[in-house]
A and B are shown apart, each in its own frame.
Chain A
Amino acid sequence: MNDLMERLQRDFGVDDITVRKPALTTFRVKKDSAETLIRELRDREGYTHLNFMTCIDYIEDGIFTLVYMLHNYDKKHSLGVHVDISRENEDMVSIHTLWAQAWTYQRELREMYGINFPGSPRLEEDFCLEGWDDIPPMRREFDTKEFSEQRFGHREGRHSEEPRDHMKVELYPNRGGDEK
């Protein structure tokens, strides 16, 4: 494992290597060399399985962090590849040529975050949301509660209870709701 990391550091300039669990290591790589790195991991290092591909929105730093989770069946080890891209209209290289199932994840990211993957099949079609006319909803500047109230209305008389306080009164009514 360590010499794999050394090789990656020397060839691709990865940084921020963190060993999260004995079977999971994550690191960060620059956007331009990301696809080459993933291809080398798949072809030569044995990380042949793509678990998933997702995105974290760091609105404070102005970046999206794409996470590719790869798995090696021989060594039973997972690698998380973090790639930073900017939040405004950025294109990312598509990896549907490496694994065919990646086009589903890329369609989802295109609809929910607005990240474009040129060349990926069926990107323009609706994935989950039909007739969506607002900004991509998983971005953190999208206020989902306010959108819901405006579009779908709000019914008066809705009452929420904190479960912990409610159960205190239920279980210990004589003590006025005190715990022991």
Chain B
Amino acid sequence: MKNSLNTEDTLENSGLTEEEQLLFSNARPRAYEPYPIKAVEDFANWARANSLWILAFGTGCGAIELRPLMTARFDANRFGVAGRPTPRQSSVFIIGGYASVKTLKRIIRSYEQMQGPKFVICLGICPINGGMYFDSYNTINQFDQYIPVDLYATGCMPRPEALVASIMALQKKIKAGECDGANRYVENFDWYKANQKKVIKNWDMPDYNW
């Protein structure tokens, strides 16, 4: 079942075996255009900002601050934030703290399955410069070499109040139309992929997880 695109648009998928090559698509991702009429784009950004669905994947110690955020004291539902368990339906990926190499592979897999305008918030200092685990053989030091990041919330861990502030800052940024992480990922795809493959040695998944 060959792909019908021409070869400049296909990926190598060198990590897959022969039989698996037929099961996965080797098409390159494409950047999406904003709506041509500005009023429609502003309205769409307003809708996206007021209905942020977070992927319920607690990647590190930041997940422990997400739980109080959803409960009665710091209710995140009033901002339109809801947790979804599948990357297909969510638009925000919250990287909670450190990312070990094992988790980074799963983060990449989940991030590439998310759709449309998607945003990444990094919590804590570990994604910024390694944080407490700056000298560990297993955790990465600079997260935005692997996935484009829209917002950093520093702290170890940032409290739920800081998380609420970062959600409001992300909403403001989305309404201004400055959050184009998905397009940045596609435009610099080879650079991101080279960084990822430098760190993840057992790459047994397709090059782009559609």
Contacts and interface: CB of A to CB of B under 8 A. Distances in A.
A–B direct touch in complex (beta carbons closer than 8 A)? yes
Given A148-B137, A155-B128, A155-B129, A130 B142 contact: no
A135 B46 CA distance: 52
B119 to A, nearest CB: 22
Interface centre among B130, B137, B140, B142 (most CB of A within 10 A): B137
Contact of B140 (A126, A147, A152): A152
B198 interface: yes
Interface stretch (B78-86, B180-188, B199-207): B199-207
B199 A148 contact: no
Interface in B81-113: 101-102, 105
5 A-B pairs with least C-beta separation: A131-B201, A131-B202, A145-B135, A155-B129, A152-B141
Interface in A155-177: 155, 157-158
B138 A129 contact: yes
Nearest to A145: B135
B199 A151 contact: yes
B6 interface: no
Contacts of A134: 137
B201 A144 contact: no
A157 B130 CA distance: 12
A77 B105 CA distance: 45
B10 interface: no
Interface of B: 101-102, 105, 128-130, 134-142, 145, 198-203
B137 A130 contact: no
Given A130-B101, A130-B105, A158-B129, A152 B135 contact: no
A131 B200 contact: yes
Interface of A: 126, 128-134, 137, 142, 144-145, 147-149, 151-155, 157-158
B137 A153 contact: no
A128 B199 CA distance: 15
Contacts of B145: 153
A131 B105 CA distance: 11
Given A130-B105, A155-B141, A148 B136 contact: yes
B135 A130 contact: no
B134 to A, nearest CB: 7
Given A130-B202, A144-B135, 4 more contacts: A134-B137, A148-B136, A151-B198, A154-B130
B201 A133 contact: yes
Contacts of A130: 101-102, 105, 200-202
A129 B140 CA distance: 13
Contacts of A126: 202
A153 B136 CA distance: 12
Among B105, B136, B203, max chain A CB count under 10 A is at B136
Contact of A154 (B136, B139, B141): B141
Nearest to A148: B135
A145 to B, nearest CB: 4
A133 B136 CA distance: 15
A144 B136 CA distance: 6
Nearest to B133: A148
28 contacts: A126-B202, A128-B138, A129-B101, A129-B102, A129-B138, A130-B102, A130-B200, A130-B202, A131-B200, A131-B201, A132-B201, A134-B137, A137-B138, A142-B137, A144-B137, A145-B134, A148-B135, A148-B136, A148-B137, A152-B130, A152-B139, A153-B141, A153-B142, A154-B130, A154-B141, A155-B129, A155-B141, A158-B134
